Structure 1
Amino acid sequence: MATILNCFPLTVYKDRLGLDQAYRRQIGDAVINAYRTGSKAGVSKTSAWTGDRNGREFLHLEPAMAPMFKGVHARMVDYLRALKIDPSKLDLHYTRSWGTVSEPGQSIRRHRHNQSHISVVYYPVKDAGTGNLVFHLPDPLNEFSPGLFEQHSRDMGLITESNILNSEMVDLPVEEDDIVIFPSKTYHGTEPNNTPGTRISIAIDVVITLKDSGGVEYLMPPAEKWRKSQDV
């Protein structure tokens, strides 16, 4: 009997953060206030507001956000353990964190976070039907002929069933209080918000360093061992 082996999976972690509704609303109100009172670079009828482009990319430094970030850390430890990585040997550094606001008709285009290692998305406020998270794979490993997995192949009946083996996009349903963790190099975006409601998310970038880099050639050494070149 033939055996089908699915190699090289992308692992995406999803859970509930478990924050109470009042606190989630507090987070959402802070993001909305930043959106309404600050600059709006990159915003259009179809493009959502993102705090990283508008000078609001350090939410992890705000004391009011501490309960959320403590919960995020615990989920990142779970994520690492799922990959059979020992979190006790690593330090996880929040480097950037910002809110996004998607109003009716808006979405976040496909992108990835090349400046970090692990990325996190949390949904403190998400009305039903306001659009899901979408993961993209520009060069699917199973796509032996370029363009084979694009929509035209489905329209002509060449692809008889869509599944994770023959797709270049995966739609991940997300709800309020959901947290999603994945490698930062992964292309992702969102569906358009096709409702009158609002989708608010918190995006977080994380860099990992070794606690002890002695004898280790790869991975990043402890941050306390770094030095700015102009300070030498």
Structure 2
Amino acid sequence: MKIAALIICFFSLNIFCQNRTTKYTLDANGKNVRLTKRIYENEKYPDNSWGFRIEKDSGMIHQHNVPKYSTYKLDYNYFKGIIEKNSNNKYSDSTIFLIKYYYLNDNCSDSFSNVMTNELITDNKILTDFHKVNIENESNIIFLVFFENGIKLNNKVNSKNEYYFTDEKNIFRNNIFINPTLCGSFGLIKPNGETLIRNGEYRADWIVNHLDPKIWNTIFQQ
């Protein structure tokens, strides 16, 4: 009887867990799709990235309906001021800002959580430190990482060397990074206000390559 009870309990628990972690994967048209490697790597829908949202009656929904690239013309001085306030640093008017943005409830990987512990931050900085040093040493680019408000950061925010910050009033979230995307987004903000957003999993050094005038001018002349 005890064994039978344990078996029933196991299956009940399994069903309960499945209900709590239900995930739906939708294509750009809202139809259910199988999450194959080909679709996940954006080969079927090359112009889109994976957006996500949580519905109370459904669970986590991944939908391939977020544009891979977006462009904006911003008030550079306004956003520069926001960055300076967060970082407690002053930057020249020729500074190009590269921002990696993480969204609340993103379940991209185990290295990200709504609670970024010291351990998770340390692990993430192994990669971002490498890119920050290489990018900033060769250019007038400043590389910063922002987290949507609601994500708890356990880091040294008062340190001059810190570059992980909370988007406290969600100013970046509401004006630039408007599409919650699996694995976050990158943004480049130039002094003339031209801003390029790249949604989805990517690398900091790859997005910097878009500053090549041949690439950048082609994008913003369209």
Q: Report the TM-score range of the alignment, normalised by the length of the smaller protein.
A: under 0.3
Which of the pair is proportionally richer in helix?
2
Q: Higher relative contact order by CA 8 Å / sep ≥ 6: 1 or 2? A: 1
TM-score, structure 1 normalization: 0.24
